[in-house]
Amino acid sequence: MEKTKKITTIGGQALIEGIMMVGPKRTTAAFCSEKGDIATEDIEVERITKKHPFLGKPFIRGVFSFADTLRLGYKALSLSADKLTEEDGEEEPSKVDKWLEEHLGEKMTGIVMAVGGVLGMGLAVLLFFFLPTVLFNLIRSAVPGDIAGWRSLFEGLLRIAIFVGYILLVSLMPDMRRTFQYHGAEHKTIFCYENDLPLTVENVRKQRRFHPRCGTSFLILMLLLGVVVGFFIPFENPFLRTAAKLLCIPVMVNVGYELQKACARHQNWLSRAITAPGLWMQRITVKEPDDKMIEAAIAAMKAVIPENGEDLVG
């Protein structure tokens, strides 16, 4: 296994036919057109942890860094959706598209994504918090004996099963598979930089796909932490239990953020055990990219690397 020579704070995100790289001073997205042309565009979002340095302290920064990531990701995805719409502009729009364009104009993409985000959040709360509690209550009433101690484990395993099943399902979609390939280009490019190699397609191609600082790994870590937290929530009522779990999310995010950063910095049996489930999950969400995807990742990466090494972890 290759030994990384340095660890960078630079992270990224796969977009629709593109990649966003987030550096300490600059955030840049690179998009690949149908013709194979690569264009870059800076994304400006004032980060909470930069505006208020106190919020960047350990065990506080996690939830605010996560909020910054969501804001950046939302803006980058909106931009990539606009780029895709521009390329598809030659097709005759439907009556619904014409109505939306007439009444919403340039705000259409943002509004559609906002509505989709709210609906997605509501569905996530229903599936990952409310449903497991309801199902366990049904099982408990049907099975003789005291099985209350198994509640958190049952709910946690069901949440993981729902998450894995959902990812497997969406991975069958051609567009999502391409996004997962861009995800692979992002990881490989970061590994190439961390291995102190020139950022070329050939060098990036040789790198590993699975990175410990991946968002997929973070989500799996959150699900596992949720199992532990669930043991300390006494409520059986689905509404009260769901509310308590939601209130615990900021604490779990802070703990998970610090765990992930520590595991990326230290290589030992404990860090390998903590990251193993997330790395396994990346076999679904991180695919081998083609050369154009790698070129896009390199273009975005080069744009955000500072000259003074400020992006490196000591």
pLDDT at 111 over 90: no
pLDDT at 34 over 60: yes
Tell me the whole-structure pTM to 2 decimals.
Answer: 0.86
pLDDT tens digits along 280-306: 999 999 999 999 999 999 999 999 999
Task: Pick the closest to residue 132 from 164, 159, 161, 150 (CA basis).
Answer: 159
pLDDT tens digits along 185-223: 999 999 999 999 999 999 999 999 999 999 999 999 999
Q: Is residue 292 part of a domain?
A: yes
Number of domains in the chain: 1
Q: Is residue 190 part of a domain?
A: yes
pLDDT at 99 over 80: no
Q: Which pLDDT score is estimated for 2? A: 47
Mean pLDDT of 259-266: 89
Burial of 234 (0-12, 13-18, 19+ CB in 10 A): exposed
Domain with 218, as residue range(s), is: 11-304
Q: Is residue 4 part of a domain?
A: no
What per-residue string of b and e applies to 275-298 under the rule 16 or more CB within 10 Å gives b?
Answer: beebbebbeebbbebeebbbbbbb
Q: Is residue 311 part of a domain?
A: no
Q: Is residue 218 part of a domain?
A: yes
Q: Is residue 310 part of a domain?
A: no
Mean pLDDT of 146-156: 86
Q: Is residue 258 part of a domain?
A: yes
Q: Is residue 6 part of a domain?
A: no
Q: Which pLDDT score is estimated for 5? A: 67
